[in-house]
Amino acid sequence: MNKYRSHNCNELNKSHVGKKVLLSGWINKIRDHGNLLFLDLRDNYGITQCIIDNENKNFSKIEKIQLETVISINGKVLDRSTETINKEIKTGEIEVSIESFNILGTCKELPMPIFSDQEYAEEIRLKYRFLDLRRKKIHENIILRSKVISFIRNEMSNLGFLEFQTPILTSSSPEGARDFLVPSRLNPGKFYALPQAPQQFKQLIMVSGFDKYFQIAPCFRDEDARADRSPGEFYQLDLEMSFVEQEDVFNVVEKLLISTFKKFSNKKLMFNKFPKITYSDALLKYGSDKPDLRNPLIINDITDIFTREDVSFEIFKKLVKTGSRVRCIVTKSTQDKPRSFFDNIDKWAKDQGASGLAYFTIEESDEIFAKGPIGKFFSREALEKIMEKTQAKVGDSVFLACDKQKELEKITSLARDKIAKDLDLIDENIFAFCWVIDYPMFERDEQTNKIEFSHNPFSMPQGDIGKINFEKPLDILAYQYDIVCNGIELSSGAIRNHIPELMYKLFSIAGYDKKQVDEKFSGMINALSYGAPPHGGIAPGIDRIVMLLANEKNIREVTMFPMNQNAQDLMMDAPSNVSENQLKELSLLLKLKK
RNA sequence: GGGGGUGUAGCUCAGUUGGUUAGAGCGAUCGCCUGUCACGCGAUAGGUCGAGGGUUCGAGUCCCUUCACUCCCGCCA
């Protein structure tokens, strides 16, 4: 027999009564009754109550042990009397009478309790992550993550995908996020970059003829953190397929996500076939390219109304004349909501930096009229027109915002969330997936006024390649798509451009000449000219998938050893200083800002 | 880079209009307790009120600066 344990802490039940057992684990809790003591022993699998009384010579020794000490216990399994059965734990029908014990690992006074549902400051949780990870909730989250990943691996293999590793030390690319750089000792003055995603490698794998690839790939981007975005590194289910069209990728990913979410969550799926929303529709109806479809509120554009003679809301009319637009959100049957409901939302909008949200409620006595601070500015005909455009009915309220398109999208999108929350319109027990499709190939940078790739420069433009109008680059759509779930962007992907001439052409629109493309993307562009198959793929974010499945709002709750918001690892003390000698070997000199 | 929130005992927090010696629960230490499962009871120790400066007879509390953590904006092909 193993010298540490004969059973795990979740294993023993009535059938073991009378048996001698050996258990090892952490002391989760001690309840000391003076001459009788209960000790909850915990391991990865569960908890077993152990018991000892003062007739045992070890009694006084065991009374003195710190919680979280690791011990092994020799004892006998006892039946519990009916009234002492604990239904909360799997081993609650029995207990182990301690005959002897051994201390395997001592424990100092704890900086934070393990056995507690209390919330703790992240600083202390991250510094003592190894203790934090012993706690039930996060321990289970991390186990869930492991199970999800192995399930996905299995499914991908079954679907005929091959798993490959790609380099971690690679070259810096000019597009996209900030790179993490690694100085090269053997090539003084030169740097590797950690991959932001294995984008070029996976395309090269297709050119190499492997047909279907996937990888649970680490990705590194040196950008600031958010609740749903780790600083530094995260994982994607990176996949790529040859000889496919957009629909083929959709079919694979939909199947995978549906089976994963059905297996690991009890929440309902709102759609068994993911709806497809075009990028431009998403921005109009939801103000965002990551709409939360659990939220029934829809944004409508009613700019036209404010060019009418019988509308006298001069502030908006004036703004509309100078190119602003007016969009609104209709809330159903809110005529009886108190004034404070509306004013709170207006105040909230002002706090968000907008000029506020105007509102009125549609009512009817002899005829239809608008009630509220700005109601008097609308004629009956104008109101009817608004009702027709927005499907609003008597008793509904209309919230309006007026601004330049981009700002307007932002505030209406936020307002959509805010109002839905206030009205409790979002069903938390649902996953609402959708595809966002037809992204534009290019967009204009507002500051520099330059044309830039809006997403991935390697995406294939839509339409007949011979007939694309390159004179109007902003009108070119790409076979570029995202998956969104509950307002969280889960992945983005594309059918790739495998035609070198077309690639040069598109890069030239974004301001890169042939030489620059050859330099920056030498591996890729070279490979594409040696017989590249049409191919495409996508890369769902693993951390966010697990976050949704674990019902967590913060990505650190599903990350084993996360960094804090300033990209520091408080446990390992990274990043840290390095010696002069290390710098010298790398031909580096520090020039720190004061 | 910008905005919001938080910072008081090892941990979680309370602390009124500025007023005597800054409190509670958990944890720790010591004692009592033979059926608990958030065991119970009693006692003890534990504080640079994040830091620095200012106003004041007097600051945990008001003002300024600064630091840390966090949420958001920017950023994230």
Show the CA angle centred on residue A150, arms to residues A144 and A155, nearest 5°. Answer: 125
Asked whether strand B has any atom less than 7 Å from the CB of A124, the reply is yes
- Residue range A377-407, pLDDT digits in tens: 999 999 999 999 999 999 999 999 998 888 8
Q: What is the DSSP letter of A376?
A: G
Q: Compute chain A's Rg from CA coordinates.
A: 30
Q: Return d(Cα A462, Cα A478) in angstroms, integer.
A: 5
Distance, Å, A121 CA → B8 C1': 15
Chain-centre distance for alpha carbon A592: 34
| Half-sphere exposure of residue A95: CA atoms within 13 angstroms, side-chain side | 18
What's the pLDDT at A340?
A: 85
- Residue range A359-378, pLDDT digits in tens: 999 999 889 999 999 999 99
With distances taken from each CA to the C1' atom of nucleotide B40, the closest residue turns out to be A33
Band of pLDDT at residue A62, cut at 50, 70 and 90: very high
Q: Return d(Cα A206, Cα A244) in angstroms, integer.
A: 11
Asked whether strand B has any atom less than 7 Å from the CB of A351, the reply is no
Band of pLDDT at residue A449, cut at 50, 70 and 90: confident
Nucleotide nearest to A175 (CA to C1'): B77
Percent of chain A with pLDDT over 90: 83
A451 vs A548, residue with greater confidence: A548
Average pLDDT estimate for A193-214 = 96
Distance, Å, A556 CA → B23 C1': 34
What's the pLDDT at A477?
A: 95
Q: How far apart are the first and last CA of chain A?
A: 63
Band of pLDDT at residue A352, cut at 50, 70 and 90: confident
Asked whether strand B has any atom less than 7 Å from the CB of A90, the reply is no
Asked whether strand B has any atom less than 7 Å from the CB of A413, the reply is no
Asked whether strand B has any atom less than 7 Å from the CB of A453, the reply is yes
Asked whether strand B has any atom less than 7 Å from the CB of A264, the reply is no
What pTM was computed for the model?
0.94
pLDDT at A476 over 90: yes
The DSSP annotation for A247-287 comes to: HHHHHHHHHHHHHHHHHH--SEES-SS--EEEHHHHHHHTS
Average pLDDT estimate for A286-311 = 94
Nucleotide nearest to A111 (CA to C1'): B10
pLDDT at A447 over 80: no
Nucleotide nearest to A92 (CA to C1'): B37
Those nucleotides of strand B lying less than 7 Å from any protein Cβ are 1, 10-13, 26-30, 32-40, 68-77
Nucleotide nearest to A568 (CA to C1'): B69
- Residue range A79-95, pLDDT digits in tens: 999 999 999 999 999 99
Asked whether strand B has any atom less than 7 Å from the CB of A554, the reply is yes
User: What's the mean per-residue pLDDT of chain A?
Assistant: 93
A345 vs A584, residue with greater confidence: A584
Nucleotide nearest to A126 (CA to C1'): B69
Nucleotide nearest to A195 (CA to C1'): B77
**What does the CA dihedral A405, A410, A415, A421 come to, rounded to 10 degrees?**
150
What's the pLDDT at A379?
A: 94
Tokens coding A68: 């979280």
pLDDT at A147 over 70: yes
Distance, Å, A138 CA → B63 C1': 43
Nucleotide nearest to A113 (CA to C1'): B11
Band of pLDDT at residue A109, cut at 50, 70 and 90: confident
Asked whether strand B has any atom less than 7 Å from the CB of A225, the reply is yes
| Half-sphere exposure of residue A167: CA atoms within 13 angstroms, side-chain side | 10
Asked whether strand B has any atom less than 7 Å from the CB of A456, the reply is yes
Percent of chain A with pLDDT over 70: 100
What's the pLDDT at A594?
A: 59
Asked whether this complex has an ipTM greater than 0.95, the answer is no
In A 24-83, which Cβ lie closer than 7 Å to strand B? 29, 31-36, 38, 40, 49, 51, 53-55, 64, 66-67, 80-81, 83
